[in-house]
C-alpha cells in the first residue's frame, strides 16, 4: 500500500516537473522551426493581416471580405477595376463589343502561366465562367442573369453572349476569376451534384488553388489562417518591396488582435475592431489608424407601406429632426456625412443631390402636414438595431431622443441579425425602421440603386422600404442596361434625385474601413487613398511594400 502511494506521489511529481520544466524551457529556448527545403532569407518580407474569418478559397463560392482579398491575389481576371468605374486590361489585352451590346469578345494575353506552369488559354476562361454560373454561389449572381453563352474562338480569344444589355458588364467581370481547367478537372470528386463534373472540384479547392495570380497558396489551416507566397513566374507587375509571404488570420477578437499587434505578429488589423481598441493600438510606435472609404453606406431604412411611416411628410419630419453630425463626430468617428443614397466614392454618385440636415422647425412643419399629426400619440415607430453591432444602439437611442423632441414616439428594439433577415422577408413583419450597412455589389451607383430600391430586393435584408414602385423599377433597369457610361451615369443621377424626393431612407454616412496598421514599415496604397473600393481590392498584395529592416528596428 505504501508502495502504491509512493508511485502515485512520484507520478504527480513527474507531471508537475514536466509542466514547470516546459514553462521554463519555453522562456529559454526559442522553438526550432522544422527546416523547409527552400532557404529562408535573413529578412523575409512578411505581412500578416487579420480578417473576421478565414477565407474561402474557391472563387465560385466565397464572397466575403477575406475570400475576396484571397481571390484578388490567387487568381487573375480579364479586366482590372479602377476608382472611376472604368476597367483596364488585365488578362484580356483588349476587347470588342457588338453594336447591339450583346456580344463581347476578349483577346487574351499570351504566355500567362498558372501556378503549376501550364499556360492560361481561352478554354480556361470558358470553363471558369461555366463553373461560376453553374455553381450559382458567391458572386455568380452578377453574371448569371445576363449570360447566355461563352465560347472559345481560338486559344486566345473568348466570346461572351448576353441575353440583354448590361452596362456594368465589364465591371462585373472583375469577379470572374480564371481557374486552371486541367488542374480542377484532375481533382473533381465523382459522383457530385454537377453531373459529369462531379463536385466541380469544390472539395479540392477548399485547401488548394488553381490560379495564375501573383501569389500562390503555401499553407492552409481551416478556420485558423492561410499563408500565401509570391509566385515568381507571374506575368504582371510587383512593387520592388512587395511581400514574399502573407498570412491572413481569421480572428477579430479585440484582445487577441491587440496583443498580436503589439507583439508585431500582426501588421494590419481587420476592420471590425472597436474604436477604443484601435485608439490604443494607434498609440504604439510606428502604428496609426487609417480610415478608408469602402463604398458602402449606413442607412435607416423606413417602411413606406406601414402607418405612420407610409406618409411622406412623416418621413420627411424624421429626416429633418435627426442629428446626423453627432453620428459622424461621436459614434462612427472617421466616417463622412452621406449625400444621397449612393456613397461619394462609388462611380455614378451625384454630388448635387439634396441631403437632409437637422432643422427642427422644418421637421415640425412637415409633421404638421402629415395625416397622422392629429393622432400622433396613437402611433409608435418601431426601430430595430442589430444586436451584433453594439454601436448601432447609440444611433438608435439618439434617433429616439431626436424624435421625442418633435413628439414622435420611438420603440427601440435590439434584434439579432438572423431575426432581422427573417423579419425583413415580409412587409407585415418588417419594422418601421431598421438600421443597416449596405455596400454595392459592383463599383457603380446602379448596383446600390438596384439592391436598395428595386422591387426584386424588397424581401431581402438590403431593403426595408418596400417601395414596390414599377416605374422606379423600370427606370433602374433602363439605367443599368445603358451601355454608354456617360448616359448611364446621367440616369443614375436622375434616380438619386427621385429617391431623395421620396425620402424612403435616412442616409447617414459613407462607410469607412477603420484599421490599425504599422505605417512605419508597411507602405499600403489603400491607406494613402489609392485603393479601389471593390471588396478585396484594398489587398492587392503585390502593390503593398514591406520593409522588414524597419520592423526589426521597431521590435528590437
Partner 1 sequence: MRLATYLAKRIGYTIFVLLGLSILIFTLARVLPGDPARMALSPRAPEWAIEKLREQLRLNEPLPVQYLYWLRDVFSGSLGESLVTRRDVLTDITEFLPATLELLLFALIFDVAIAIPVGMLAGRKANTWVDNLVRGFAYIGVTIPAFVFAIIFLLVFGYILHIAPVVGRLSPGVVPPPRITGLFTIDSLITGNFSTFVDALSHLILPSLALALGPIAQEARITRASVVENLNKDYILASVSHGLPERLIVLKYLMKPSLIPTVSIMGLDIASLIGWAFLVESIFNWPGMSRYGIIAMLRKDLNAIVGVVMVTGLVFAIANILVDIIVSLLDPRIRMVERAK
> Please, what is the minimum distance in Å from the beta carbon of residue 271 to partner 1?
17
**Minimal distance in Å, beta carbon 140 to partner 1?**
8
Q: How far is the CB of 370 from partner 1 (least distance, A)?
A: 33
Report, in Å, the least distance between residue 189 CB and partner 1: 11
Helix (H) or strand (E) holding 23: helix 2-28
Q: How far apart are CA 300 and CA 100, in angstroms?
A: 40
CB of 246 vs partner 1, minimal distance in Å: 12
Closest separation between CB of residue 249 and partner 1, Å? 7
User: DSSP letters along 181-218, please?
Assistant: HHHHHHT--SS-TTGGGTTTTTTGGGS-----SSEEEE
| Pick 256 or 357: Cβ nearer partner 1 | 256
What does the binding site for partner 1 look like in residue numbers (CB under 8 A)?
A: 1-2, 5, 9, 12, 15-16, 19, 22-23, 25-27, 29, 31-34, 36, 53, 58, 61, 63, 135-142, 144-145, 193, 202-203, 206, 221-225, 247, 249-251, 253, 255-256, 258-260, 262-263, 265, 416-419, 421-423, 441, 451, 457, 460-462
Buried b (16+ CB within 10 A) or exposed e, 441-450: bbbbbbbbbb
Contacts of 354 (CB under 8 A, 6+ apart): 340, 497, 500
25 vs 190 by CB, closer to partner 1? 25
Which residue's CB is nearer to partner 1, number 50 or number 309?
A: 50
Q: What are phi and psi of 41, to 5 degrees?
A: -65, 155
Cβ burial of 51 (10 Å; 0-12, 13-18, 19+) is buried
Of 309 and 463, nearer to partner 1 (C-beta) is 463
Distance of closest approach, residue 9 Cβ to partner 1, in angstroms: 8
Q: Which is nearer to partner 1, 262 or 376 (CB)?
A: 262
- Residue number, 20 or 368, with CB nearest to partner 1: 20
240 in Cβ contact with 230 (< 8 Å): no
3 state DSSP class of 3: helix
DSSP string spanning 326-344?
HIIIIISTT-EE--SSS-T
Of 139 and 299, nearer to partner 1 (C-beta) is 139
Q: How many beta carbons lie within 10 A of that of residue 322, not counting itself?
A: 22
Give buried/exposed letters for 251-279 (b at 16+ CB in 10 A, else e): bbebeebbebbeebebbbbbbbbeeebbe
Tell the smallest beta-carbon distance from residue 299 to partner 1 (Å): 15
1/42 with CB nearer partner 1: 1
Amino acid at each position: 500500500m505504501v508502495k502504491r502511494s509512493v508511485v502515485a506521489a512520484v507520478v504527480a511529481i513527474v507531471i508537475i516537473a514536466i509542466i514547470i520544466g516546459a514553462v521554463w524551457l519555453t522562456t529559454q529556448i526559442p522553438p526550432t522551426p522544422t527546416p523547409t527545403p527552400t532557404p529562408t532569407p535573413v529578412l523575409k518580407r512578411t505581412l500578416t493581416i487579420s480578417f473576421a474569418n478565414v477565407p474561402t478559397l474557391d472563387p465560385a463560392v466565397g464572397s466575403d471580405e477575406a475570400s475576396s482579398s484571397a481571390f484578388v491575389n490567387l487568381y487573375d481576371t480579364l479586366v482590372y477595376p479602377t476608382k472611376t468605374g472604368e476597367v483596364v486590361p488585365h488578362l484580356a489585352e483588349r476587347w470588342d463589343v457588338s453594336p447591339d451590346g450583346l456580344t463581347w469578345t476578349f483577346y487574351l494575353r499570351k504566355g500567362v502561366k498558372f501556378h503549376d506552369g501550364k499556360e492560361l488559354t481561352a478554354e480556361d476562361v470558358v470553363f471558369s465562367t461555366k463553373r461560376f454560373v453553374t455553381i450559382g454561389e458567391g458572386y455568380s449572381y452578377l453574371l448569371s442573369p445576363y449570360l447566355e453563352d461563352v465560347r472559345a474562338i481560338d486559344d486566345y480569344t473568348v466570346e461572351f453572349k448576353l441575353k440583354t444589355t448590361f452596362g456594368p458588364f465589364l465591371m462585373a467581370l472583375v469577379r470572374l476569376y480564371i481557374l486552371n481547367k486541367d488542374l480542377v478537372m484532375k481533382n473533381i470528386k465523382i459522383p457530385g451534384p454537377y453531373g459529369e463534373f462531379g463536385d466541380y472540384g469544390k472539395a479540392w479547392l477548399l485547401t488548394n488553388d488553381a490560379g495564375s495570380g501573383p501569389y500562390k497558396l503555401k499553407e492552409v489551416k481551416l478556420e485558423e489562417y492561410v499563408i500565401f507566397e509570391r509566385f515568381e513566374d507571374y506575368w504582371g507587375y510587383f512593387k520592388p518591396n512587395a511581400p514574399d509571404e502573407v498570412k491572413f488570420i481569421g480572428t477579430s477578437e479585440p484582445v487577441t488582435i491587440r496583443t498580436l499587434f503589439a507583439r508585431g505578429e500582426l501588421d494590419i488589423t481587420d476592420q471590425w475592431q472597436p474604436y477604443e481598441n484601435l485608439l490604443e493600438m494607434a498609440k504604439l510606435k510606428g502604428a496609426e489608424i487609417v480610415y478608408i472609404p469602402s463604398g458602402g453606406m449606413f442607412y435607416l431604412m423606413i417602411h413606406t407601406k406601414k402607418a405612420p411611416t407610409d406618409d411622406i411628410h412623416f418621413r420627411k419630419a424624421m429626416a429633418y429632426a435627426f442629428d446626423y453630425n453627432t453620428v459622424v463626430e461621436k459614434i462612427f468617428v472617421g466616417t463622412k456625412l452621406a449625400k444621397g443614397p449612393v456613397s461619394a466614392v462609388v462611380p455614378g454618385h451625384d454630388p448635387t443631390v439634396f441631403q437632409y440636415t437637422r432643422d427642427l422647425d422644418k421637421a415640425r412643419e412637415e409633421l404638421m402636414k402629415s395625416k397622422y399629426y392629429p393622432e400622433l400619440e396613437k402611433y409608435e415607430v418601431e426601430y430595430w438595431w442589430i444586436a451584433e453591432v453594439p454601436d448601432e444602439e447609440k444611433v438608435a437611442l439618439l434617433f429616439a431622443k431626436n424624435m421625442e423632441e418633435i413628439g414622435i414616439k420611438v420603440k427601440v428594439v435590439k434584434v439579432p441579425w438572423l431575426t432581422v433577415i427573417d423579419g425583413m422577408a415580409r412587409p407585415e413583419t418588417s419594422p418601421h425602421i431598421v438600421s443597416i450597412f449596405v455596400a454595392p455589389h459592383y463599383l457603380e451607383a446602379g448596383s446600390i440603386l438596384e439592391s436598395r430600391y428595386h422591387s426584386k430586393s424588397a424581401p431581402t435584408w438590403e431593403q426595408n422600404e418596400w417601395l414596390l414602385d414599377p416605374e422606379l423599377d423600370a427606370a433602374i433597369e433602363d439605367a443599368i442596361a445603358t451601355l454608354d457610361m456617360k448616359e448611364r451615369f446621367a440616369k443614375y443621377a436622375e434616380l438619386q434625385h427621385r429617391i431623395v424626393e421620396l425620402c424612403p431612407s435616412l442616409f447617414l454616412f459613407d462607410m469607412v474601413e477603420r484599421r490599425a496598421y504599422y505605417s512605419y514599415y508597411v507602405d499600403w496604397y489603400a491607406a494613402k487613398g489609392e485603393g479601389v473600393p471593390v471588396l478585396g481590392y484594398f489587398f492587392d498584395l503585390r502593390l503593398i511594400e514591406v520593409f522588414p529592416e524597419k520592423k526589426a528596428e521597431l521590435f528590437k
